[in-house]
């Protein structure tokens, strides 16, 4: 009797298969400097692609609305236990689909619509879900925004305190998507305590640095902590909420049934794998190397005449201010992509340009560090970035010269060849 062989992706859908193969090739050959991206390990990818995607699991371990939880419950319990151990938290909810739903869940659990909340403004490096006007968090809550000082682009803690005393918010966010310096969680907590507000830290960008011990932790100071599980944490695309035990019931109820139905069990398993990897000694070395690389690249770019917001970095990212070059970030980012250099245009504090074509470029070092590049490679990276920007300027409105772009692509492929991409 002939055995049945199920067709693979190339046979079922060669068009999608070819596009995925192209993306694999791009991730191998490109200099990936987008601050919110990384390489997940082969083990994380295997868990993400598992048959757990077939299973529904509404509810929580031991309290489900479906049968067949023989393996799903132990997986979620492992993910919870590992998250708590990794960050030293009292409670963990591993079900949020990503960082934005995690932030919404905390607001739903701790606040009522119309309550006053405070967060770092988007132009100053904050995130949409910290109360920016176009986000649900700015539509359904009364949001007030703090910023950074004009002279040094650092968060103005005096302004945060004055604003909190004046507005008496129910909840204060501390966190960012484009702020290159350490966050003073203890100072934020003192302000929150003074005005009777909850303090919530969004550590989506810096979770891996905190887990690796190279950034202070908000856990001793915050009522709740939200994060994605990718970015510097190097896991699957997903979210995580950590909180004090006293808030556990409210936040769990906000996640399910408040905002979500069944969790994505394949992603929960991949989160558990990522937390396990982050608990290993090698992860601390990786986190430290991210920061060392970011500082080294900042120094090399400054040597080449570029201005950096705050003059440097303490974490995994840096913001290049292109004002002196007289060009918008959008054109440069697009032209650099043609050269095999991936980063994104980004607003800078007090940016005179419009958000769709801002003055800055955001650069992150998590991905290249995952490939094994160290400080010695940062001069070469600064060199190709500089060459790409100059070629972009030379090309003007016509765009970058294709021959120049191809030359840089070749240099980058040669630079990356000794450093295999994890998971690929």
Three-class HEC string of 220-259: CCCCEEEEECCHHHCCCCCEEEEECHHHHHHHHHHHHHHH
361: Cα separation from own chain's centroid: 16
Q: How confident is the model at residue 157 (pLDDT cuts 50, 70, 90)?
A: very high
CA angle 165, 109, 157 (to 5 degrees): 25
Position of tokens 């709740």?
Answer: 224
At 161-179, the pLDDT tens digits run 999 999 999 999 999 999 9
Residue 24, SS3 per DSSP: helix
Q: How confident is the model at residue 124 (pLDDT cuts 50, 70, 90)?
A: very high
What mean pLDDT is predicted for residues 7-11? 96
1 pLDDT higher than 60: no
Residue 4, pLDDT score: 83
Residue 355, pLDDT score: 86
192 pLDDT higher than 80: yes
The fraction of the chain above a pLDDT of 70, given in percent, is: 99
Q: How confident is the model at residue 399 (pLDDT cuts 50, 70, 90)?
A: confident
Q: Where are the beta strands (DSSP E) in 291-368?
A: 307-308, 317-321, 341-342, 344-346, 360-364
Residue 398, pLDDT score: 87
Cis before 218 (ω within 30): no
- Give the residue numbers marked as catalytic: 56, 58, 202, 228, 231, 237
63 pLDDT higher than 80: yes
What mean pLDDT is predicted for residues 139-155? 96
Q: What tokens appear for 317 in the block?
A: 């990212």
CATH code linked to domain 284-416: 3.90.1150.10
At 19-33, the pLDDT tens digits run 999 999 999 999 999
Residue 21, pLDDT score: 98
Q: Is there a contact between 53 and 59 (Cβ–Cβ < 8 Å)? A: no
At 328-374, the pLDDT tens digits run 999 999 999 999 999 999 999 999 999 889 999 999 999 999 999 99
Helix axes 281-303, 378-395, angle to 10 degrees: 40
Q: How confident is the model at residue 2 (pLDDT cuts 50, 70, 90)?
A: low
Q: How confident is the model at residue 304 (pLDDT cuts 50, 70, 90)?
A: very high
Q: Tell me the C-alpha distance between 142 and 138, whole Å.
A: 7
Beta bridge partners of 93: 241
CATH code linked to domain 46-278: 3.40.640.10
Residue 81, pLDDT score: 98
- The structural domains of the chain, with segments of one domain joined by +, span 46-278, 284-416
Q: Tell me the C-alpha distance between 155 and 147, whole Å.
A: 6
Average pLDDT of every residue of the chain: 97
């Amino acid at each position: 009797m002939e055995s049945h062989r199920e067709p693979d992706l190339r046979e079922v859908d060669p068009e999608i298969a070819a596009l995925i193969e192209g993306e694999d090739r791009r991730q191998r050959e490109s200099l990936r400097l987008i601050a919110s991206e990384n390489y997940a390990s082969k083990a994380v990818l295997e868990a993400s692609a598992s048959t757990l995607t077939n299973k529904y699991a509404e509810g929580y371990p031991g309290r489900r609305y479906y049968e067949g939880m023989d393996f799903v419950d132990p997986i979620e319990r492992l993910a919870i236990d590992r998250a708590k151990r990794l960050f030293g938290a009292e409670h963990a909810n591993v079900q949020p689909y990503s960082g934005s739903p995690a932030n919404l869940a905390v607001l739903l659990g701790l606040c009522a619509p119309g309550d006053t909340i405070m967060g770092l403004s988007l132009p100053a490096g904050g995130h949409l879900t910290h109360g920016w006007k176009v986000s649900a968090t700015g539509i359904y809550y009364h949001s007030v925004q703090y910023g950074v000082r004009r002279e040094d682009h650092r968060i103005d803690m005096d302004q945060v305190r004055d604003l909190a005393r004046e507005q008496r918010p129910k909840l204060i966010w501390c966190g960012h998507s484009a702020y290159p310096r350490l966050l003073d969680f203890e100072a934020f907590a003192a302000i929150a305590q003074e005005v009777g507000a909850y303090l919530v830290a969004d550590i989506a960008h810096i979770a891996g640095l905190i887990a690796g011990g190279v950034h202070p932790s908000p856990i001793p100071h915050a009522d709740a902590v939200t994060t994605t599980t990718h970015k510097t944490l190097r896991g699957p695309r997903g979210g995580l909420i950590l909180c004090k035990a006293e808030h556990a019931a409210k936040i769990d109820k906000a996640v399910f049934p408040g905002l979500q139905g069944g969790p994505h069990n394949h992603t929960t398993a991949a989160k558990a794998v990522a937390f396990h990897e982050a608990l290993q000694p090698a992860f601390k070395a990786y986190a430290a190397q991210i920061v060392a690389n970011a500082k080294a690249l900042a120094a090399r770019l400054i040597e080449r005449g570029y201005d950096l917001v705050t003059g440097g970095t303490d974490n995994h990212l840096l913001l290049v201010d292109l004002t002196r070059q007289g060009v918008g970030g959008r054109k440069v980012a697009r032209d650099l992509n043609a050269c095999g250099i991936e980063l994104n245009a980004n607003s800078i504090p007090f940016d005179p340009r419009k958000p769709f074509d801002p003055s800055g470029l955001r650069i992150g070092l998590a991905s290249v560090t995952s490939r094994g590049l160290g400080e010695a490679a940062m001069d070469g990276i600064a060199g190709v970035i500089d060459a790409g920007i100059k070629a972009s300027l030379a090309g003007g409105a016509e765009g970058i010269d294709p021959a120049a772009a191809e030359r840089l692509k070749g240099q980058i492929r040669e630079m990356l060849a000794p450093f295999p991409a994890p998971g690929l």
